[in-house]
A and B are shown apart, each in its own frame.
Chain A
């Protein structure tokens, strides 16, 4: 469903994404992990059609994003890491606007909007301006808008940022549901727990390069770590082992 071929993004002297190639099958949840500044958000932005790659190709549902941007975007639901929305629209208006933008029409449209607002517990806020929403509410509103047009591919940058435990649980349940309905999910996250729990396969990007890829079990094998937790595997593969107690001892020394 998703295919990245030798994807590279260069910002003047800096190579943010370096020759990344990967495939995500239909109905698969793919976790994209990496330390800060590794190139996750740049890759996600290219995948969402917000940024153009310097070289390489992105194919979604067999269509080249560069050649068929509109058709590809019609198939994608995108959630950025920061929920910037139209603050002067109400939640309901925003959903309606997004429905029209994605050409969603027909009888069931309004009902579907209402269902999503209810699912994400936003129905009673539907007639209030988005500007008065909390961070978590905005995040939930974006998520409902991104699912509205029944995308085949869901591209998510940090799905749990700013969500309370209830919101986070809801998102996890929705992801599981999406998996059942054979929707392909490509998500970047720092929450290793969600990657461990939900992802069929995980890719680890470091300094712009895809350094490891596979199922949780395959990554465990690759890392050869005694500790089977994803956190330990991740730290080992990215060469960022946790600091020892001696190394962080200086924090309290001044006092």
Chain B
């Protein structure tokens, strides 16, 4: 009974979000639902297409589909374990309500059961969202019977329980070694490093060579490697072995693996409960110990006195800089950005332009132009994570800004310039270096960095402005802010802005480029068209700076906590 009581606050909070959230909450939920459906449809379409293609491949088709399924289950298991560890750290150790709950007469068993269920639900829904379209695509391509879908339910439940139990046990063991807060930081860093490593490993194997007929002998070797079985000790293999026969309407071996999954899942729950009884109280007590962190003199040196407005702007920027490098969730993402730059440029260095049917010089410049859009997209994606969240990052301390003799305008512009410089550097690296690798025409060599230079101002202003218009000072972490309604709106606007600039520049660049190629002079009308289009692009850039900043300043000035 107490387990239900312990779960009730989460359910009530969810319900209250709908009941008291009003129209804005409904709009948000509606938008997220539409996004989820869109995402679902895209995943489904991709898998349906790939599986249909596999089916058409003689001999290897089934093998490929089977391997893909096994990879899907393995990926899910990895994701589930990781997400369960992160969620369990929160539900078992860091959640704010734990202090109150531990002071009430709730037994470890009751608390464990409630938090186990909470962890299970919170960490599994994302995998289910990914999994349903993938597994439905399998069912439809293989024209599976209803037994397949029933079997899926019977496989997924123990699979999710097993991952949750393992994740929770790992968390409890981690907290024995490190304090809870450090464990989260270490895991975060590890996850980033592993992601980067996987990215590099995958990219540097150059999978595009698989579609190169000249390397066909390698493909045969690759397929031979595919036919070797996956590890029989992995739960993902059991899940795959349980699902695969159902696609072929055979239940014999499926039942065995289903039974195996259920038994292991139940056993893992018992073992994790036992582990909890043994070490959870001690781990919880440890997680309450505060860490004293003395900052060395070299960074704790106070900001020097400066006069007037400069003093405020430098104070704000200095504070933001310290925040960035002292927050592990922030600076660690620089590693990801660095990996992104390396991969981005590597892709251009191995681009097989000579294999294309179009003239190389034409293709080089076309790609260089499209690269401006791609670089813009990369900047907008980084913008939503860092720039859009800049205002919300003030958190509950925003009262300091509100009560200080500081205008919202100055606050927003200081944030703007703080983020503008690194984004400019990144944008210019992406365009200049890729242009060098592509050996582009002098016209593109100048135009692409200039366009990106101008665009970064708009992307930054959009981030700061929209972030100020849709602040979330109560968010527990900034990722939550970036993935919210405002973040989505920012991405849509930023993409629209980038697309508009690209469209406005495409025509004139083509005209200039063709005139250069064919060595003919441009007419007055063509010059007028080129000038007009570039002027429009400049105006769009100016509007992208001015309008969102003005909107953000107005909305944030009216904000009341």
Contacts and interface: CB of A to CB of B under 8 A. Distances in A.
A97 B318 contact: yes
Interface stretch (B104-112, B209-217, B402-410, B424-432): B402-410
Interface in A136-163: none
Contact of A101 (B293, B297, B327, B404): B404
B558 A52 contact: yes
A96 B297 contact: no
A55 B554 CA distance: 19
A95 interface: yes
Contact of B293 (A45, A85, A113, A128): A128
A101 B407 contact: no
Contacts, number: 120
A51 B397 contact: no
A93 B312 CA distance: 14
B328 to A, nearest CB: 10
B439 interface: no
A88 B302 contact: no
Nearest to A50: B402
A129 B312 contact: no
A175 to B, nearest CB: 20
Contacts of A49: 402-403
B307 A76 contact: no
A92 B314 CA distance: 16
B327 A88 contact: yes
A93 B293 contact: no
Nearest to B410: A70
- Indicate the member of A69, A82, A98 with the most B CB atoms within 10 Å: A69
A45 B327 CA distance: 30
B404 A100 contact: no
B395 A92 contact: no
Nearest to A105: B305
B305 A106 contact: yes
A109 interface: yes
Contacts of A128: 292-295
A118 interface: no
Given A48-B403, A50-B561, A51-B560, A93 B300 contact: yes
B291 A132 contact: yes
A194 to B, nearest CB: 22
Nearest to A75: B405
Contact of A105 (B296, B297, B306, B560): B306
B300 to A, nearest CB: 5
Contacts of A51: 560-561
A78 B403 contact: yes
Interface in B293-322: 293-297, 300, 302-303, 305-308, 311-312, 314-316, 318-319, 322
Contacts of B295: 90, 93, 127-129
B403 A50 contact: yes
A97 B302 CA distance: 8
A120 interface: no
Contacts of A89: 319, 322-323
A71 interface: yes
A101 B305 contact: no
Q: Which of B290, B318, B402 has the most CB of A within 10 A?
A: B402
Interface string A85-117: 110111011011111111111100110010000
A73 interface: yes
B402 A70 contact: no
A169 B386 CA distance: 44
Given A85-B400, A90-B300, 7 more contacts: A51-B560, A82-B396, A86-B400, A92-B300, A93-B319, A101-B404, A127-B295
23 contacts: A48-B399, A49-B402, A49-B403, A50-B399, A70-B405, A73-B406, A74-B405, A76-B403, A84-B395, A84-B397, A84-B399, A85-B400, A89-B322, A100-B314, A100-B315, A101-B315, A101-B405, A105-B305, A127-B296, A128-B292, A128-B295, A129-B295, A132-B291
5 closest cross-chain pairs (CB), A and B: A96-B302, A100-B315, A84-B396, A105-B305, A73-B405
